[in-house]
Amino acid sequence: MTDDKKPKRGGRDMKKAFTSYLYDDAYWRVRELAVQRKTTVQALMEEAVDLLFEKVGDPMRASDSARLKAGLETYRKE
């Protein structure tokens, strides 16, 4: 299969994976925060990247909700 013929999964078709290594206690704390906030680790990581972009004055946003507010392209089911 060529890349353009691979099946798409959810809202991932415009996204790339990003791996980060954390100390064990930080890793588990992020998971705990996700449970406490009734969200996903994915959503927390997108929020963290949005805050980093904001801190450095970059208009780019990682999360779908922030991208919509900024007028940036997001995944849209058709």
Whole-model pTM: value is 0.72
pLDDT confidence tier of residue 31, bands split at 50, 70 and 90: very high
Q: For the segment 53-71, what is each residue's pLDDT rounded down to a tens digit? A: 999 998 888 887 788 888 8
Contacts of 63 (CB under 8 A, 6+ apart): 43, 46, 47, 49, 50
| pLDDT for 13 beyond 60 | yes
